[in-house]
Chain A
């Protein structure tokens, strides 16, 4: 069984500041981890993913995340926030077999302050 905890349902950062969105997971098998972004009234867009190999993964729009097994974490970062980053961000986990379902966190709404 898997679960995801996203600390902070709302995060506000100033434009140009560091973005840090936290995600901790629980999984009974080696996890695949994902970050999805949801812009207002739109669907879920994949930002980045970790499956195996390099623990620091880079995604679209300048985002990256680091898989830390010892901390069971997969935090999302971006060095410099842009107004267009305002959205809801979801962390998700699944097992590493075939067609396993994604288990999502409750999401973090990111607000960018001009």
Chain B
């Protein structure tokens, strides 16, 4: 069964450093999403992406964040200058139109 994959599974970085989180969505899906879950809290929407542009973003997704689909398979989330409060589990998801979002296993980011 096709699945969303994410790399790395864990990332530790120093405050102020740039990180790139990678996702490979399900191959025939057209819509892509990033969510995050701070430890002990609910899953929060960050951004959705369709047709090579951002469709919607939350107030969390400020200028420090960016997304890109650099080729036909990868979908990345970049945090330019990480803060302590960026420590969280980051989930990538993908979907066909008007359908279920399938989530990857997540990348646990720890900012020291």
User: Residues on A close to B: CB < 8 A?
Assistant: 34, 36, 42-46, 49, 90, 92, 96-107
Of B42, B95, B106, which one neighbours A104 at CB under 8 angstroms?
B42
Number of A-B contacts (CB under 8 A): 56
Give Cα distance in the complex from A44 to B91, angstroms: 9
State the Cβ distance, B99 to closest chain A Cβ, in Å: 8
CB within 8 Å for A90 and B106 given contacts A34-B100, A99-B50, A102-B101 = no
**B contact residues, total (Cβ < 8 Å):** 25
Inter-chain contact B106/A43, CB cutoff 8 Å: yes
CB within 8 Å for A44 and B43 given contacts A97-B98, A98-B31, A102-B101 = yes
Check: B55 CB closer than 8 A to any chain A CB.
yes
State the Cβ distance, A106 to closest chain B Cβ, in Å: 5
Of A49, A96, A103, A104, which one neighbours B100 at CB under 8 angstroms?
A49
Check: B44 CB closer than 8 A to any chain A CB.
yes
State the Cβ distance, B111 to closest chain A Cβ, in Å: 19
**Nearest chain A residue, comparing its CB with the CB of B4:** A43
Inter-chain contact B105/A43, CB cutoff 8 Å: yes
State the Cβ distance, A108 to closest chain B Cβ, in Å: 11
Inter-chain contact A44/B103, CB cutoff 8 Å: yes
Inter-chain contact B105/A101, CB cutoff 8 Å: no
Inter-chain contact A98/B98, CB cutoff 8 Å: yes
Given contact pairs A36-B103, A46-B100, A102-B101, enumerate 16 new A-B contacts (beta carbons under 8 Å): A34-B100, A42-B106, A43-B105, A43-B106, A44-B103, A45-B103, A98-B97, A99-B95, A99-B97, A100-B48, A101-B33, A101-B48, A102-B33, A102-B35, A103-B45, A107-B42
Give Cα distance in the complex from A92 to B45, angstroms: 11
Best-surrounded residue of B41, B56, B101, B102 (most CB of chain A within 10 A): B101
Give Cα distance in the complex from A96 to B35, angstroms: 19
